[in-house]
Amino acid sequence: MHELPHYNECPHCYAPAAVRADGGCLACGRRRDDTEGVDPRMTAVTVDVRHELPCCCFLCGADTDRGKTLSYLSNPARGPMGWLVGLLPGSTRSRRHRQLMPVCGPCTPQLKGLRPITFKAGQEMRLRVHKRFRALYEGVNGRPHLDWG
């Protein structure tokens, strides 16, 4: 009988993926036992814009009542011409998205240039976050369920 694959979060790309026979992640290819550059305090969570956010800095896990806007640009265009067209003002190919996130004072400078791992424009985004933030977020909003439909 075949053993079912184990889906664990990769410490490099944070994807919930199975491990290949050689120990590599199916999503990014890096070996799970290679811990170089891995911060064990960090994980990823999908934040829905309609959900309640905990009073905890999403970058360091410290308690905070401060909120700052995480702003990022979506540009689905591919290739040099698509990229150039996407930069034009008013272009439908690019759009700025904003999400208010809890962040403490010392972590505020880290917001500049920070982008989600993945996102559905205006609905949800998958972010690299502190494990404490994820635990509190899922405690308030519940864990997401895989949607195979």
Tens of pLDDT along 63-111?
999 999 887 776 655 556 666 666 666 665 566 777 889 999 999 999 8
Which pLDDT belongs to residue 120? 76
Which pLDDT belongs to residue 80? 64
pLDDT(3) > 80:
no
Which pLDDT belongs to residue 149? 41
Residue type present at position 106: P
Of 96, 125, 109, residue with least CA distance to 68? 109
* pLDDT band of 41, cuts 50, 70, 90: very high
Domain ranges for the chain: 1-35, 43-141
Residue 99 has which token pair?
């999400």
Q: Which residues of 5-39 are buried (b: 16+ CB within 10 A; e: fewer)?
A: eeeeebbbebbebebeeeebbeeeebebeeeeeee
* pLDDT band of 122, cuts 50, 70, 90: low
Tens of pLDDT along 53-65?
999 999 999 999 9
- Percent with pLDDT over 90 in the chain: 29
User: What SS3 class is residue 128?
Assistant: strand
